[in-house]
Amino acid sequence: MNKLLHSITEKHFVTAEDVLRLRREVFGDHLVDRHEAYQLFQLADSAPAGDHDWHDFLCEAATDFFVRQKDPCGYMTEADAVFLMKCFGAPETVSTIKTDVLCHMLKHATLVPRSLVEFGFEIVRAHVLADGRIDADEVNRLRCFLFAAGGDGNIAITRAEAELLFDINDLTHGEANAPAWTHFFAQGVANHLMAHIGYQPLNRAEVLRLEDNLADHSVNIGRFVSRMFSRGPAELPKQANKNRLREGEAAVAAQVTASEADWLADRIGRDGVYNDAEKAVIAHLKSLSGQLPPRLEELARSA
């Protein structure tokens, strides 16, 4: 493996033929180990460019090690997140190929530590700061991190994440941003103000407990009867109440409150300039709710 890595490093480019040899080395035992993952990330630093097969292979190998191979499958541990961030280095030094690897892992994970999602935000912020604009690829990566399985709200965007969107919008104001940014920004802020936080993944301990129960195939009549009674008709009213509560929460969340309107008005008016992305937020909110709180109506007229 070391000899192969050295020969590739000297070229600073990973060919499709190199990837075939790497596959045989790494997947020869059907598993990616910790040292192999570390070596592949080192290779990504010394030879980030390559045929498309190199990008796909690195994403696949890293996702296998960090997401698929551990029990329960799909859940990344805190220790692995720390190791991964150590392999990546400071956010401003993370290459494009490594950023794509992180996105790929998050898309295929059930739950990852929050620290890793925040690390992804810092990478995008650093890339945007480097050239002062946000391109289409960065919009897609930001979308991945915002809706990652370790995000604060998972489905809904939180206040901290909405603030991040505004920070990036302020940093890139007046630059040649990707057309997708205006639409994504407007939807993201509206999501924060109006979306209901729904599905929350189980934590690792809960999943492991459920898997242990499913793996227990022993016959136990007492346990079977106990489960039948504990999960029988008595559970139905509880579930109905939960459904009604969730519907009520969603209805409340779909309204922009006065405090939310104040936050948005203050955030948009912070620099005294209303750019296209910020105007799109107001227009999008108006299309969703029709009637806006008075301060937002006033802001809409000013903008």
- How many CB atoms are located within 10 Å of the residue 187 CB? 17
Tell which residue, 143, 75, 125, 83, has the closest CA to residue 105.
Answer: 75
Ramachandran quadrant class, 52 (left: phi over 0; alpha: psi -120 to 50; beta: rest)? alpha
- Residue 255's Cα: distance from chain center in Å? 25
| HSE toward the beta carbon, residue 37, CA cutoff 13 A | 23
46-76 confidence digits (pLDDT tens): 998 999 999 999 999 999 999 998 888 888 9
Q: Which of 31-45, 152-166, 191-205 has the highest mean predicted lDDT (pLDDT)?
A: 31-45
* Residue whose pair of structure tokens reads 């541990």 in the numeric block: 77
**Alpha carbon distance 56, 62 (integer Å):** 10
| HSE toward the beta carbon, residue 227, CA cutoff 13 A | 6
pLDDT above 80: residue 152: no
Dihedral (CA of 171, 176, 178, 180) sign: positive
Tokens of 233: 């008709």
Tokens of 278: 């910020």
- Residue 52's Cα: distance from chain center in Å? 23
Give all strands (DSSP E) within 140-290, no chain letters: none
Judge contact between 98 and 105, C-beta under 8 A: no
- How many CB atoms are located within 10 Å of the residue 203 CB? 11
Q: Between 120 and 253, whose confidence is greater?
A: 120
Q: What is the mean pLDDT of the chain?
A: 80
> Which of 3-17, 57-71, 288-302 comes out lowest in average pLDDT?
288-302
234: which DSSP letter? T
**Alpha carbon distance 179, 79 (integer Å):** 38
pLDDT for res 67? 92
First to last CA, the chain: 60
The CA R_g of the chain, rounded to the nearest whole Å, is: 24
Judge contact between 70 and 32, C-beta under 8 A: no
Q: Judging by beta carbons within 10 Å of its beta carbon (0-12, 13-18, 19+), is residue 55 exposed, middle or buried?
A: buried
- How many CB atoms are located within 10 Å of the residue 300 CB? 16
Q: pLDDT band for position 135 (50/70/90)?
A: very high
Q: Residue 112 — φ and ψ, nearest 5°?
A: -130, 155
Q: Percentage of the chain surpassing pLDDT 70?
A: 76
**Alpha carbon distance 66, 76 (integer Å):** 6
Ramachandran quadrant class, 174 (left: phi over 0; alpha: psi -120 to 50; beta: rest)? left
pLDDT for res 83? 96
